[in-house]
Amino acid sequence: MRPHGRNAAGASHLSTVRIWALCLMLLSAVAISPTGAKAAPTAPGAATTHVYLLRGVLNIFSLGLDTIGARLQAQGIPVTVANFVSWSSLADEAATAYRAGRLKTIILVGHSSGATALPDMIAKLNQLGVPVKLAIGLDSVFKTRLTTGAERYINLYIGDGPGEPVRAADGLRGKLDNVDVRGTGAGHISIDKNELIQRRVIAEIDAVVMRSRAPADPNAPKPARSAAAAAPPRN
C-alpha cells in the first residue's frame, strides 16, 4: 500500500529538517574547535611566535580573524583561530609550549566577546608565569577590565557603538591604549573585516615579531614598520 500523500510529504519534510540540523551541529563543532596554522618555512625567527585569535559568539560574526590569520600565516607567523570559550585551554597550551622553549612571543587578538575574554587569558598566562607581548581587542564589550597586563594592550573600539574602552585596574603593569576608531567605516560586526583595521592589527603584530628578531644591542636601530600594513590614524 502506498503511503498517504500528506504523510509522505510530512515525513520528507521531517527528514530534511533532521539533515539540516545535523549539518548545523557539525558546522558548529568544527567552528568552535581551535584551528592551528603552521608557519611558512620561509620566515626565519617567527616560529617561536604564536598568535591566538579569539572569535566572538557563534563563530559567524568574527570571520575577519580568519583573514588576519591567513595573512599572518603567509608571512610565516603561526596562528590559532578559536572561539572565545577556548581561552583557558589555549592558555594552558601556550604555557606548555613556552616552558618547553618552543614559544617565546605570545600575541592575542580578540573580537567582541573574544576581546572581552582577553584579560582573563592574560591573567591566567601571568599566573602560569608566561608573559604576553601584545594583546589587541576589537570592540570589546561588557565593561572589560584589565587587572594584569600584557606588555602592551590595544583596544580598538567604536566610540558610538556597543564597544567600550577597557578599564585599567589599580597597579596595572604594561601599557594600555584605548583607540576610538570612529571614521574608519567599521561597525561592531564588521570591525574585524575592515581593511584598515586588519592592516593596523597586522602592523602591530609585525612590529613585535621584528623586535623579537632584532639583536639585543640597545644601541641597535629599531626596525622599520611594515609599509604594507600601515595603520589608520588614531582618533
Number of domains in the chain: 2
pLDDT at residue 34, as a whole number:
56
pLDDT at residue 40, as a whole number:
47
What integer is the mean pLDDT of 134-162?
89
Do 3 and 70 share a domain, yes or no?
A: no
With 0.85 as the threshold, say if the pTM is over it: no
The upper half-sphere exposure of residue 108, i.e. CA atoms within 13 Å in the direction of its Cβ, equals 36
Do 81 and 6 share a domain, yes or no?
A: no
Do 176 and 219 share a domain, yes or no?
A: yes
Binned at pLDDT 50, 70 and 90, residue 128 comes out as very high
Is 97 among the domain residues? yes
Do 87 and 154 share a domain, yes or no?
A: yes
pLDDT at residue 145, as a whole number:
82
From 43-47, 54-58, 78-82, 222-226, the region with the lowest mean pLDDT: 222-226
All residues at 6 or more sequence positions from 216 whose CB lies less than 8 Å from its CB, including other chains: none
Is 221 among the domain residues? yes
Residue 110 has pLDDT above 70, yes or no: yes
Mean of per-residue pLDDT scores for the chain: 79
Q: Look up the CATH number of the domain holding residue 183.
A: 3.40.50.1820
Do 110 and 177 share a domain, yes or no?
A: yes
Is 235 among the domain residues? no
pLDDT at residue 45, as a whole number:
53
Please write the tens of the pLDDT for every residue from 80-90. Answer: 999 999 999 99
* Edge-to-edge strand list for the sheet holding 79-83: 35-37, 79-83, 49-55, 105-111, 134-138, 152-157, 175-180
Cell reading at 23: 549539518
Do 26 and 78 share a domain, yes or no?
A: no
Binned at pLDDT 50, 70 and 90, residue 214 comes out as low
Residue-number span of the structural domain to which 180 is assigned? 34-229
pLDDT at residue 88, as a whole number:
97
pLDDT at residue 183, as a whole number:
84
Q: Virtual CA dihedral for 60, 163, 83, 23, nearest 10 degrees?
A: -20
